[in-house]
Amino acid sequence: MTLLNASILGGLLLAGLPVLLHLIMRAKPKRIEFPALRLLQSRQTSNSRRMRLRHILLLVLRAIVIAIAVLALTRPTLPAARYGLRWYEWLTLIGVVIACAMVYRWRSTTAAKQQPAEHLLRERRGRLRAFTVLAGLVAACVFVGVPWGLRVQGEITGPRSSISPDVPVAAVFVFDNSQSMTYKHESLTRLDQAKQLALDHLTVLPPESSVAITTLSPDSEVVFQADLAGARSRIEDLKTHAVTRSLNVTIRDSINAQVSDRERVQAERASADAFAREIYVLTDLSEAAWNEPDESGIRDLLVQHDWLHVYLIDVSVSNPINRSLGQLRLDRDATVTGQPVQVSVSVSATPAASAEAIVELFTLDREGNEIRGGGAGGNALNTVRFDGGSPPTATFSVRGLEGAKFQQGFIRLTTPDPMPVDDVRYFVFGVQSVPKVLLVGDREIDTWLFRNALQPVEFEALGELRFDCTSVTGAEFRREQLRAYDVVCVLNWTRPPPGVWSDLYRFVNEGGSLFVAAGGERLLDAGHWSTVDAQLVLPGVPLTALPFRPESSQLNLVAESNPIVQSFLNDPSAMTELAWARFSKSWTVDIAKDARVLMSYNDRTARPALLERNVGRGRVLMFTSAVDNNQDGWNTGLVTDDSWAFLMLVDEMMQYLTGAADAVRNFTVGEPVEIQVPESERFSQYGLTRPRFRFTPGTLPFDQSSVLLTDINEAGHYQLRATDDGNSFTTDFAANNIDAESNLTRMSIESLNNILGEGRYARVNNPEELDRAVNIGRLGIEVFPVLMGLLIVLFAAEHLMANFFYDEVDTQPQAMAGATE
């Protein structure tokens, strides 16, 4: 126990004042002669003992009242612990009281049944009451008091006997500066509210205190400084950050900084620590700021360093109102001129928000002017409604700007809310010229279905070109200039003449792409497909066309990292549609060492279905079954009028072969962004235009073929361009905030206890609670309220006892006078 005003203990001498007054002012007995005293002599001894006992009890009670009053003024404190009885301790105490009452009632009834004299019965019951009370007190001490004392002793962690309100404090202020702290309530963001609380608390820190300010920013450090004015300035300059680390890591670093500073102070002073050490965590307690389960070991650290006090200051708002955009997706990151891109975004809302939201889309022209709508004939506005289920999705169709290499745009909510940071999502996609595709087959029917999948007749009639397709027979192939094409598709070419494979090898090696389908109405001549030149370019050399036994097979996705496979994995309905295709026959192949299987058949031998191979600067894809609907025994259900999975498969393969799927242009802040630079456009100096027109220069080492950007920490549009003279390389991309920052769900008490440890921190919501928690942490729990309550009870008891005692004394002469009459 610690006394904040120990000098007042001298007032305990006043407790002897009632004793002194009792001895001095004690009434002396007066001798009164009565004619008949024999009736009173039998009660004289017992009355005198009872009167003496009451005098002593009243004397002791008055002395205790004075002693407790003096002790209360000294403001004694106890180390922080749970001094109240737990529920099971209350149950035990109630059980002891009930047991004592039942024993007393049983013994009292037993004594009454013996029918003794009335004065004997009263005497027995008096002794029984005394014994019962004494036994109850002993039982309460044994069954309740001892366990309670052991529990409290275990909870008291290193009390400081020399603490006082003026001891300097080493405090670390941890600010949650994640995006969720931008939520505004009563004209203040949550970060502004946290800063105001911290600034107010700085003014009440004792002199010679030192303060460290840290945030969730990755580069924030814990550095103690005695300059409180400098700390105030740092707090005032704090801003939210889009890329943050977790609160777990930041609190762990703060604890380690406190431990290091404590060891330094002890070494310099060669004595005990001169500071009371505290950590203030100011946060809205949103789940996104924490890692659960915790891997930082915070709870163990707080148990090990029990002299450290942690205060969790909750600045969140109950029932927040927020609508947010998240999970922005494009069906492709590049398109051809005139072809639309589907842009979708999910819309979420808190329970207190309105039941619907309006979302609008804007694109940007070359000068950066906002153009409402995507220019694809779609609606620029989209209304979504919240039904309590999964978040709804708003979808827009966007066309690329005519003549531009990239198209920038954004989607936003039309109605602002208290958290505007998640009301906008940015996007960028590439716009390229229509790829030229050469299709080669023995007959036109072999190439027509594949060509229709690439460029549907309906779209071509409307003037919408996705691919510029040219179909030739094997005899016409040698007349074509392969350099004029982006992709060559060989569809069941039975006997490629000598020199074809060498031409295709040079085409792919220089950067072109090749697709090969090895099945069809006519069986391939394996001898023409196994030449040396063919082995240089093909992912696998066909060996034998075998049927599947005992039943047909289906496609199985293998290489999950490949964009073709990913497109089906991200769309369960597409996987279901693809599963309708049944394969009765396929080629077995001798796979090249540098080839990779993307899809296989789900038979017991797991034959490869789709293979890829990189040759020089180009790519090759090979499908080991037919891609037609000639009912020639290869497959059924793959190429039909209703099989949109086949159209998707062909489109994804062409996107992959043309490189449209290579360049990812939409990222999340904090992710590394890698920009591939073609060898023909290599540069040494570049500039990066960031949101709000900020420009940062950079250098590309001569031995690297890509630019790696690791400081994309703000949402918006970016443009990287070469600054070397005569180099026109440029590329655009977009970055969006982390979707989880829009989740304003607060951490539960159970989760916080799992991370920090139950009873190892104090959670407060306002300055008054913070001051009270800090006083308990520094000084312990003040006993003043308890002592004052006990003082009032004892004073009332003393008053009642005195009145009862003197009333009884005053009535005795009257009773005696009546007896003599």
CATH label of the domain that carries residue 728:
2.60.40
Query: Bigger pLDDT: 479 or 156?
Result: 479
Q: Which residues pair with 432 in a beta bridge?
A: 336
Lowest-confidence pick of 79-93, 137-151, 363-377: 79-93
Contact between 568 and 557 under an 8 Å Cβ cutoff? The reply is yes
Please, which pLDDT band fits residue 287 given cuts at 50, 70 and 90? Answer: very high
How many Cβ atoms are within 10 Å of 381's Cβ, its own excluded?
14
Structure tokens at 520: 């069809």
pLDDT, one tens digit per residue, over 613-636 is: 999 989 999 999 988 776 567 888
Name the percent of the chain lying above pLDDT 90.
40
Please, which pLDDT band fits residue 412 given cuts at 50, 70 and 90? Answer: very high
Structure tokens at 163: 């603490």
H or E segment at 133? Answer: helix 118-140
pLDDT at 324 over 90: yes
Lookup result for tokens 């920052």: 741
Residues 356, 239, single domain; the answer is no
Please, which pLDDT band fits residue 671 given cuts at 50, 70 and 90? Answer: very high
Residues 348, 482, single domain; the answer is no
Please, which pLDDT band fits residue 89 given cuts at 50, 70 and 90? Answer: confident
Contact between 646 and 639 under an 8 Å Cβ cutoff? The reply is yes
Region 127-155: mean pLDDT is 75
What is the DSSP-derived secondary structure letter of residue 633?
Answer: S
At a CB cut-off of 8 Å and minimum separation 6, what does 222 contact?
A: 172, 212, 214, 253, 254, 257
The whole-angstrom separation of Cα 803 and Cα 307 is: 51
Structure tokens at 186: 């009563």
The whole-angstrom separation of Cα 292 and Cα 286 is: 12
Structure tokens at 464: 């919408």
Please, which pLDDT band fits residue 239 given cuts at 50, 70 and 90? Answer: very high
| Phi, psi angles (nearest 5°) of residue 293 | -75, 155
Query: Residue 464 belongs to a domain with what CATH number?
Result: 3.40.50.880
**What is the amino acid identity at position 310?**
V
Query: Bigger pLDDT: 462 or 295?
Result: 295
The closest alpha carbon to 356, from 391, 404, 407, 395, belongs to 391
For 806, half-sphere exposure in the C-beta direction (CA atoms, 13 angstrom radius) is 7
Burial per residue of 211-230, b for 16 or more beta-carbon CB atoms within 10 angstroms, e otherwise: bbbbbbbeebebebeeeeee
Strands 76-78 and 781-782 turn out to be antiparallel
Alpha-helical regions (H) of 341-392:
none
Domain final residue pick, 658, 690, 707? 658
Please, which pLDDT band fits residue 501 given cuts at 50, 70 and 90? Answer: very high
H or E segment at 124? Answer: helix 118-140
Task: Please provide the DSSP assignment of 279-315 as one string.
Answer: EEEEE--BGGGS-SS--S-HHHHHHH-TT-EEEEEE-
The whole-angstrom separation of Cα 346 and Cα 739 is: 10
The whole-angstrom separation of Cα 815 and Cα 810 is: 9
Sheet holding 323-330, edge to edge: 323-330, 340-349, 393-399
Contact between 396 and 427 under an 8 Å Cβ cutoff? The reply is no
pLDDT, one tens digit per residue, over 437-475 is: 999 988 777 788 888 888 877 766 666 778 889 999 888
pLDDT, one tens digit per residue, over 168-212 is: 899 999 999 999 999 999 899 999 999 999 999 999 888 889 999
H or E segment at 765? Answer: none
Residues 448, 416, single domain; the answer is no
Which among 98-102, 225-229, 667-671, 790-794 has the top mean pLDDT? 667-671
Please, which pLDDT band fits residue 797 given cuts at 50, 70 and 90? Answer: low
Query: Bigger pLDDT: 739 or 54?
Result: 739
The whole-angstrom separation of Cα 298 and Cα 283 is: 17
What are the E-state strand segments in 571-683?
Answer: 582-583, 585-591, 595-601, 608-615, 618-626, 635-636, 666-668, 673-676
Residues 277, 204, single domain; the answer is yes
Residues 490, 633, single domain; the answer is yes
pLDDT at 808 over 70: no
Region 394-412: mean pLDDT is 87
For the purposes of burial, counting CB atoms within 10 Å of the CB of 553, is it exposed (0-12), middle (13-18) or buried (19 or more)? buried
The whole-angstrom separation of Cα 604 and Cα 585 is: 14
The closest alpha carbon to 652, from 542, 534, 571, 536, belongs to 571
**814 lies in a domain?**
no
pLDDT at 563 over 60: yes
How far, in whole angstroms, is CA 209 from its chain's centroid? 33
**179 lies in a domain?**
yes
Residues 22, 88, single domain; the answer is yes
pLDDT, one tens digit per residue, over 784-793 is: 666 676 667 6
Q: What three-state secondary structure class fits 57? A: helix
Structure tokens at 378: 């779609």
The whole-angstrom separation of Cα 485 and Cα 482 is: 6
Query: Bigger pLDDT: 180 or 129?
Result: 180
Domain final residue pick, 638, 658, 678? 658
Strands 513-519 and 618-626 turn out to be parallel
**547 lies in a domain?**
yes
Contact between 491 and 514 under an 8 Å Cβ cutoff? The reply is no
Residues 484, 585, single domain; the answer is yes
pLDDT at 538 over 70: yes
Please, which pLDDT band fits residue 812 given cuts at 50, 70 and 90? Answer: very low
How many separate domains does the chain show? Answer: 5
The whole-angstrom separation of Cα 468 and Cα 473 is: 17
**810 lies in a domain?**
no
pLDDT at 699 over 90: yes
**427 lies in a domain?**
yes
Residues 735, 767, single domain; the answer is no
The whole-angstrom separation of Cα 210 and Cα 276 is: 10
The whole-angstrom separation of Cα 389 and Cα 187 is: 32
Find the angle CA(191)-CA(194)-CA(196) to the nearest 5 degrees.
110
The whole-angstrom separation of Cα 176 and Cα 315 is: 10
The pLDDT of residue 415 = 87
Please, which pLDDT band fits residue 66 given cuts at 50, 70 and 90? Answer: confident
Lookup result for tokens 């026109």: 728
**580 lies in a domain?**
yes
pLDDT at 810 over 70: no
pLDDT at 642 over 80: no
Its sign, for the CA torsion 291, 292, 293, 299, is positive
The whole-angstrom separation of Cα 504 and Cα 637 is: 31
Query: Bigger pLDDT: 216 or 782?
Result: 216
The pLDDT of residue 611 = 95
How many Cβ atoms are within 10 Å of 263's Cβ, its own excluded?
11
Structure tokens at 363: 């694109």
Task: Please provide the DSSP assignment of 338-404 as one string.
Answer: T-EEEEEEEEEE-TTS-SEEEEEEEEE-TT--EEES-BSS--SEEEEE--SSSPPEEEEEEEPPTT-
Lowest-confidence pick of 315-324, 332-341, 357-366, 455-464: 455-464
Lowest-confidence pick of 148-162, 289-303, 741-755: 148-162
Residues 310, 327, single domain; the answer is no
Please, which pLDDT band fits residue 331 given cuts at 50, 70 and 90? Answer: confident
Query: Bigger pLDDT: 158 or 682?
Result: 682
The whole-angstrom separation of Cα 586 and Cα 605 is: 12
The whole-angstrom separation of Cα 257 and Cα 259 is: 5
Domain final residue pick, 594, 625, 658? 658
The pLDDT of residue 328 = 92
Query: Residue 339 belongs to a domain with what CATH number?
Result: 2.60.40.10
pLDDT at 694 over 80: yes
| Phi, psi angles (nearest 5°) of residue 608 | -70, 140
pLDDT at 780 over 80: no
Tell me the pTM: 0.72
At a CB cut-off of 8 Å and minimum separation 6, what does 95 contact?
A: none
Q: What three-state secondary structure class fits 603? A: coil
Residues 109, 174, single domain; the answer is no
Task: Go through the chain and tell me how many residues it has.
Answer: 821
Please, which pLDDT band fits residue 276 given cuts at 50, 70 and 90? Answer: confident
Residues 182, 219, single domain; the answer is yes
How far, in whole angstroms, is CA 187 from its chain's centroid? 26
Which among 313-317, 549-553, 642-646 has the top mean pLDDT? 313-317
How far, in whole angstroms, is CA 135 from its chain's centroid? 55
Give one word for 475, left, alpha or beta, with left for phi > 0 and alpha for psi -120 to 50: alpha
The whole-angstrom separation of Cα 445 and Cα 452 is: 11
The whole-angstrom separation of Cα 300 and Cα 678 is: 52
The closest alpha carbon to 590, from 530, 641, 537, belongs to 530
H helices then E strands: how many in the chain?
A: 19, 38
Mean pLDDT (the chain) is 83
The pLDDT of residue 6 = 55
pLDDT at 502 over 80: yes
Region 136-158: mean pLDDT is 71
The whole-angstrom separation of Cα 747 and Cα 754 is: 11
Query: Bigger pLDDT: 143 or 80?
Result: 143
The whole-angstrom separation of Cα 198 and Cα 281 is: 10
**359 lies in a domain?**
yes
Structure tokens at 243: 């890329």
The whole-angstrom separation of Cα 15 and Cα 11 is: 8
How many Cβ atoms are within 10 Å of 488's Cβ, its own excluded?
25
The pLDDT of residue 644 = 84
Region 756-764: mean pLDDT is 90
Contact between 627 and 450 under an 8 Å Cβ cutoff? The reply is yes
Residues 67, 21, single domain; the answer is yes
Task: Please provide the DSSP assignment of 719-740 as one string.
Answer: EEEE-STT---EEEEEEE--GG
Query: Bigger pLDDT: 297 or 13?
Result: 297
At a CB cut-off of 8 Å and minimum separation 6, what does 327 contact?
A: 345, 346, 391, 739
Its domain, for residue 386, covers 323-432
**796 lies in a domain?**
no
Query: Bigger pLDDT: 520 or 496?
Result: 496
